[in-house]
Amino acid sequence: PMGAAWALLAQPKYLSLLVLVFQNVSLVMMIRHSRTHHGSGSGAKEYVATTAVVTAEVTKIVINLVLEMWSNRTNLAEGFSNLRAELSHPSTLKLALPGLLYMVQNNMLFVALSNLSVPVYQVTSQGKVLATAICSRWLLQKIISVQQYGALVLLALGVAIAQLSSIDYNKHSAKTAGSEAKQNQLLGLGAVLIACFTSGFAGVYFEKILKHGRKVSLYIRNIQLASFGVILGLIPCALHDYDRIAEGGFFQGYDKWVWAVILNQALGGLLVSLVMKYADNILKGFATSVAIIVATKLSSILLGTSVNNMFILGAFFVITSILVFGKYPAKQNSQQPNYTAV
């Protein structure tokens, strides 16, 4: 049985999902660390969030360009001329819509995390899983059984319960009392709501282009997507932060934490695209939910505390939902591809 498990993991589908789980765990831990150990009142200049989104997209272009040239064994000149040919193909324009939606979403992430605590953010962004399922049904004609819909609800509930168990209400109110005025819960929730739908739609739309469109390499598709991200991402910079950028520069306040977040976003985006290629957006939702559970357990180990019963119940829901989702695939329809998790 051990051998069978390794063979399963050697498949790109499961490998990419597993790596995504680890990347998400590290991201959650990093955000936590930066919030607890990275004093914001140090007098250092605050970075401009809208520029971080653009810088992350530029980083994605560089990473994907290197990977594209490496996978084709081309040199820089050849790589650029191939890229030019591909970028001028009309199908590039298809990426404008997901590019726009992801740009909106990546900005919403900063709005959400500036106005909501991490657990509240995690709980509310579970709406993504359901939005993704609905978009997969609608754009990709994926058949999802009633039991599978139930499993997705159970998944979201499980994460919500496990996360809510980690909110310490007393500590929370004491700690945030000073900055309460700066936080706007309703604005944060609105940002999450927008992000759920843009994530669901843009992800599935990208998957559709990748799997059903012209055969173009994943790295090229990523470069096309990120290019729209850069161009469109400059709009919120200009509209929202023109004065600050003009005064303090584009890269003001970029310390090692900001660069770490940017790099994490760029590599995370690459991973997401690999998961969309080898697995799909719904399984991606499972991977990120598992990551939240693992990260919560890990931080309790690191802090030397124990998890409570609510966490255990939540984790149980998540595991059950994975098993149910894999066990009850929709009935095969000759017109449409069958859809199974495991």
- Site of interaction with ligand C5P (CB under 6 A): 60, 102, 106, 199, 203, 206, 222, 225, 269, 272-273
Contacts of 10 (CB under 8 A, 6+ apart): none
- Minimum Å gap between C-beta 50 and ligand C5P is 14
Q: Nearer Cβ to ligand C5P, position 53 or 151?
A: 53
Neighbours of 87 (CB within 10 A): 12
Cβ 202 to ligand C5P shortest distance, Å: 7
Smallest gap from Cβ 210 to ligand C5P, in A, equals 8
* Closer residue to ligand C5P, CB minimum distance, 92 or 199: 199
Q: Name which of 116 and 225 has its Cβ closer to ligand C5P.
A: 225
Q: Which residue is nearest to ligand C5P (CB)?
A: 269
Comparing CB distances to ligand C5P, the nearer of 236 and 269 is 269
For the bound state, the minimum distance from the C-beta of residue 268 to ligand C5P, rounded and expressed in Å, comes to 6
Q: Cβ 161 to ligand C5P, closest distance in Å? A: 21
Nearer to ligand C5P, 60 or 244 (CB): 60
Tell me the closest approach of the beta carbon of residue 188 to ligand C5P, in angstroms. Answer: 15
User: Which residue, 117 or 273, has its beta carbon nearer to ligand C5P?
Assistant: 273
Quote the least distance from Cβ 339 to ligand C5P, whole Å. Answer: 20
Comparison of 175 and 214: residue with beta carbon closer to ligand C5P: 214
